[in-house]
Amino acid sequence: MYVKNHMLPKDKLTLVYIDESIGSALEKINKGDFLSLPVFDGDEFKGILMKEAIFRYYFETNSMDKTDFLDDVKVKDLYNEVYKSILETEIIENASYLLKEVRTPFLPVFDVKGNFTGILTHTSIFNAFSEIFGLGKGTRILVNLFDIPGQLAKLTGIIRKENVNIINIAVMDAKVLDVYKVVIRVDTEDVDDLINKIDKSGFKVAGVSK
């Protein structure tokens, strides 16, 4: 899964511009209930304007009249020009790691020619991984698996023999010596029968849910 498949494209974004007044920018932020917005100089992406930065600046310079502040202070005075970005062709896992590490409200996304194409938000990442894990689809079966070669192939083979469709499969370290947790989402009307077959094959089913 690639960043370009989950980003918010530029034509769907609310933008602010460096010479725009803070009052105008704040109006856009409040109207859309945003915490931050992309900053542009013409067609060039410049950085990020945070709502928190606007309020912090105003209260730290409390000698300024509110009307003067909203009219005279410009976006260019308060936006953050230091940011991390990502290419639209990168995989979503890289974007997830970067968002977590840099603690930014969104990642600006560029194409290989350096053109701004959109942003990737935390919500976009959540939706992408929800799709990867098949949340909301089929039945979730949690199986404890010993770290022995061929075990995963054996487990999926059992499911295949029952003509059950595997929607998704994920393997996680259980933090227990030589044991892994395998989360499988399957599409079947007879879950109990499938679980019984898995148990009889020597696997431990640790949980079943939607």
DSSP string covering 137-194: SSEEEEEEEES-TTHHHHHHHHHHHTT-EEEEEEEEEEEETTEEEEEEEEE-S-HHHH
Structural domains counted in the chain: 2
Residue after which a domain boundary falls, among 97, 113, 131: 131
Task: Flag whether the pTM goes above 0.85.
Answer: no
pLDDT at 174: 64
Q: What is the CATH number of the domain that holds 183?
A: 3.30.70.260
Tell whether 179 and 108 lie within a shared domain: no
Q: Is 178 left (phi over 0), alpha (psi -120 to 50) or beta?
A: left
pLDDT at 175: 67
Calculate what percentage of the chain has a pLDDT beyond 90.
59
Structural domain including 58 reads 3-131
Lowest mean pLDDT among 5-14, 84-93, 94-103: 94-103
Tell whether 104 and 159 lie within a shared domain: no
Q: pLDDT tens, 106-129?
A: 999 999 999 999 999 988 888 877
